[in-house]
Amino acid sequence: MTAPALPASLVENPRLDRWIAFQPDRTVRIATGKVEIGQGVVTAIGQIAADELDLPLDRVAVLSGSTTYGPDELYTTSSLSIMVSGGSVRLVCAEVRAKALERAALRLNCSPDDLTVADGQFLQNGQATGQDYWTVAGEIDLSQAVTGSVKPKPAASYKLVGQSVPRIDLPAKVSGAAYLHDVLPADVLHARTLRQPSRGATLAALDEAAIRRAAKGELQIVREANFVAFVSPVESVAEAAAAAAPQHVKWNNVRRIEPAAQEAAWLKGQPAEDRRLGAPEPATKPKRLVEITVSRPYVAHASMGPSCALAEFRDGNLSVRSHGQGMHPLRKNLSVALGLPIERITADHLHGPGCYGHNGADDAALDASLIAMKIPGRCIRLQWRREEEFGFEPVGPAMLVTLHVDLDERGRPADWTTEIWSATHVQRPGGGSGYLLATEALANPPPEVKPTDPPVERGGGGTRNAIPLYDVPAHRILHHLVQRPPVRTSALRGLGALPNVYAVESMMDELASRAGEDPVAYRLSILSEPRARKLIELVAQRSNWKARGPAGTGKGLGIGFARYKNSAAYAAVVASVTVSESVAVDRVWCVADAGLVVNPDGARNQLEGGIIQALSWTLKEQVKLDSEGIASRDWDSYPILRFSEVPDIHAELVDGAGNPSLGVGECSVGPTAAAVGNAVAYALGVRIHDMPLSRERIMAALLKV
């Protein structure tokens, strides 16, 4: 038997010792390049390793995001951690377990098959042999490359995988210091920045004396070209300097923005790179064309804690601590930005507030490093201010999606075109797609990158979930990749999935209503995927769909469904809403199929979190712009869903143990938005196409009824 193809992470990091180390305290260190961002990955990776090695969970220490010891697995994105990193850890552990048993068998003069493992000890006929992982560890050459030739255990034998093991990182987080933000070395210097207002803006004048007066304390002002930072042993002094600085600076060449650019409608007609994907143009003219256009505005990651980083430059070496989503990429990007050889840089991940995509965390690491290089020998703690976090993190791009669907004589889609206008969803630093923010302020800023969209086979960006899972004979995508959005855009949980699923599922309801059919029945009539059908049937049952009552009463149920990226987890959602002047979501039912689930409670937690975040985006959120950039720079101008607005949520995973694990972190967002959109349309008798479904839009829609 030839071994199956190795996961990408193992191809890139073949040495076993990048993944596993036996430690003297009778624990095993498992390293992963994926990092904890509140999704429970550290616990889940621990579960996988413990099962494969026959260890209890407390003998497994998971090290995540270390450039010194751990593998390079790029960024923690796209719900891939369990599939890719988990799959890699499983193969590595299976192989190392086999190697260890081989060594022990040699010592014991028996066959490896005679041995079993319990709590890391090797038993023969159930009796202790005196041998264990740690006695033979020295004889295993972990510098060898993984071969993938040892078959991992069958799923039926798992003891921890599939169990709702409590998160190992949570106890610290409810009792005190737990985050990068909480690390405060004794002689630390606090730093804040004055942000360049836009790419190309140049510093004309800075009244340092006035800033010093406002700071009221010991202050160092660090300047390099158009990068400015305030540094002080007292945090509030650095903070006061940064707060005062915008009144004491003059910039030239600040980019001006049209306020209309904050709306998705602005995208149409902007210079764009146009692509056509999928089926060729139909030969005949459409006969029964149905069109629908939906939109979503710019949306913020809006992490609860602002971006932060620690950096220290000592004896020519830079050590950085960050809560970014990938430490190896960060190290490479810092090396390029600072002109420092990569061997002189280490980057270590420490936990941070949830980020939900590419926010300011990486940028803060460069800010801290630039300052550290100017003040060698001191640890710099750089933190963004709240308004900086809102004002300068990359935001999720606005999207406009038009569906042109031609129907057959039975009212089923015969030909389907998804037309998308969006700025890029991928500007993560490195790899030619983006760079760290402060590089724009340095003497030789990198050239503007050409916007890109990931290939559809890899899940796409603006095109993510543009292709419906329903049976559609011919489908194509027209993608207009808008070249120059008013603000920096990048990855936000689900990328284009939310607006695209909103569009597809709105269309489904429209088509059902034209056909005079129930939306659930209509969907099932054009959906042959068995796993998908099962979820739709189940969520209809759970929500008592049959009893949903008449339309236009101000109350309604709506359904949404998608398989995330058409390759990760499936989710079907029903929302129950009450609409008066605004939308209240009363209940949400979600059923998902994520294949083999490593930690069911953790996965449910992800489903619930995705539902609430999607409700917040759908009902409330829009980044507001003024002529200089992002104007919504606090929680009053950027409100998110509150406790009093959160519905009752029933999230459930179907038993998918026979199937491989599918990423679950982002699967509920699109279907949730769609379910709410459809529920509101049913409750009102009129559809609202543009998100957020705000009070103004409801009032406007009611006038049309």
What residues line the site for ligand FES (CB under 6 A)? 38, 304, 354
Shortest distance (Å) from residue 643 CB to other proteins: 5
Q: Give every strand in the sheet of 60-64, ordered side by side.
A: 20-23, 27-32, 60-64
Q: Are 269 and 403 in contact (CB under 8 A)?
A: no
Nearer to other proteins, 485 or 670 (CB): 670
176 contact choice in ligand FES, other proteins, none (CB below 5 to 8 Å, kind-dependent): other proteins
Q: Would you say 136 or 674 has its CB closer to other proteins?
A: 674
From the list other proteins, ligand FES, none, partner contacted by residue 611 (C-beta under 5 to 8 A by kind): other proteins
Alpha-carbon distance 91 to 95, whole Å?
6
Q: How far is 62 from 285, CA to CA, in rounded Å?
A: 59
∠ CA 31-34-38 to the nearest 5 degrees?
115
Q: Which two tokens stand for residue 521?
A: 């029945």
Buried b (16+ CB within 10 A) or exposed e, 280-292: eeeeeeeeeebeb
Q: How far is the CB of 378 from other proteins (least distance, A)?
A: 16
Kindly state whether residue 46 participates in binding other proteins, applying the rule CB under 8 A. no
C-beta neighbour count of 643 within 10 angstroms: 5
**DSSP conformational letter for 443:** S
Which CB atom, from 266 or from 356, has the smaller least distance to other proteins?
A: 356
Mask of contacts with other proteins, 515-554, x by CB under 8 A? ----------------------------------------
Q: Is the dihedral of CA 564, 569, 574, 578 positive or negative?
A: negative
Shortest separation between residue 544's beta carbon and other proteins, angstroms: 20
- Closest distance between ligand FES and the C-beta of residue 635, in Å? 8
Tokens of 254: 């600040």
Tell me: does residue 631 bind other proteins (CB under 8 A): no
The nearest distance, CB 171 to other proteins, in angstroms, is 5
Considering the complex, what minimum distance in angstroms separates the CB of residue 184 from other proteins?
7
Q: Does 170 engage in binding with other proteins (CB under 8 A)?
A: yes
Is there a cis peptide before residue 692, judged by omega within 30 degrees of 0? Answer: yes
Establish if 652 lies at the interface with other proteins (CB under 8 A): no
- Stretch binding other proteins (CB under 8 A), from 88-96, 233-241, 264-272, 540-548: 233-241
Q: Hey, is 47 helix, strand or coil?
A: helix
Three-state SS for 541-570 is HHCCHHHCCCCCCCEEEEEEEEEHHHCCCE
- Overall size of the chain counted in residues: 705
**126 counts as binding other proteins under rule CB under 8 A:** no
Q: 124 exposed, middle or buried (CB, 10 Å; 0-12, 13-18, 19+)?
A: middle
354/499 with CB nearer ligand FES: 354
Contact yes or no for 671/610 (Cβ under 8 A): no
DSSP 482: E
Q: Which residue has the tokens 């965390």?
A: 361
**Residue 303 interacting with other proteins (CB under 8 A):** yes
Report the residue number, 99 or 167, with the smaller CB distance to ligand FES.
167
State yes or no: residue 357 binds other proteins (CB under 8 A).
no
Q: Please state the closest distance from residue 609 (CB atom) to ligand FES, in A.
A: 8
Interaction pattern, residues 580-609, with other proteins; x per rule: CB under 8 A: ---------------------xx--xx-xx
Question: Nearer Cβ to ligand FES, position 606 or 672?
Answer: 606
Identify the bridge partners of residue 243 per DSSP, sorted by sequence position: none
Question: Looking at 1, 154, 643, 658, which residue binds other proteins (CB under 8 A)?
Answer: 643
Distance CA 522, CA 511 (A): 8
Smallest gap from Cβ 303 to ligand FES, in A, equals 8
| Binding residues with other proteins: total (CB under 8 A) | 59
What dihedral do alpha carbons 500, 504, 510, 515 form, nearest 10°? 170
Q: Least CB distance from residue 176 to other proteins, whole Å?
A: 4
How near is the Cβ of 619 to other proteins at its closest, in Å? 13
| Chosen from other proteins, ligand FES, none, partner binding at 273 (C-beta under 5 to 8 Å by type) | none
